[in-house]
A = this chain, B = another copy of it.
Amino acid sequence: MDAAVAVLDEHGVEGLTLAAVAARTGVATPSLYKHVGSLAELKAHVAVRALDDMTERFTKAVLGRAGDDAVTVLMHEYRAYVREHPRRYAAMSVDPLHDPSLREAGVRLMEVMLATLRGYGLEGSDAVHATRRLRVLVHGFADLEARGGFGLPEELDDTYDQLVRMYLDSLGGTT
């Protein structure tokens, strides 16, 4: 599993192949089937691990903070994670959430976001919408940045700051 993540980080999602993992671990390819059911399952496991990594990291970052401060930190941590592991993030996004375990990991991550928004007094569907808006922002930016979708890298920090401010404004307005 560790080897799989390493291969992914080095060669991207298309390079994440059972043959490559086998080579790195020094076993024959078919031997991997004693540990994992298929290539698809391996990818799902890797995605779950990455998702949980993010969840843990964001949880720590947000602990002891609240309101705009917490949201700002969360958004910056999200971007930081994706910059550190761009291929991992890209691989994560590839598969629709077929896998139930993957879906669960996604829910865990979302709950951190939802909790971060506690304190804004959002109830029911308002909270859902706010969380979705947040996901859209951080994922949209991270995805574009990770695959080099922005032309000039300069000033990207400014763009991100504007996104953070835009989101905060959408939350409370006067808060």
Residues of A bordering B, CB below 8 Å: 93-97, 106-107, 125, 128-129, 132-133, 135-141, 143-144, 147-151, 155, 158-159, 162-163, 165-167, 169-170
The answer to whether A140 touches B135 (Cβ under 8 A) is: yes
The answer to whether B136 touches A140 (Cβ under 8 A) is: yes
Q: How many copies does the complex hold?
A: 2
Cα–Cα, bound, A147→B170 (Å): 26
Q: Determine how close the nearest CB of chain B comes to the CB of A79; give it in whole angstroms.
A: 11
Name the B residues within 8 Å of A165 (CB-CB).
Answer: 170
Name the B residues within 8 Å of A106 (CB-CB).
Answer: 149
Cα–Cα, bound, A135→B135 (Å): 14
Name the B residues within 8 Å of A158 (CB-CB).
Answer: 125, 129
Name the B residues within 8 Å of A149 (CB-CB).
Answer: 97, 106, 135, 139
Given the interface contacts A136-B141, A139-B140, A140-B141, does A93 sit within 8 Å of B167 by beta carbon? no
Name the B residues within 8 Å of A97 (CB-CB).
Answer: 147-149
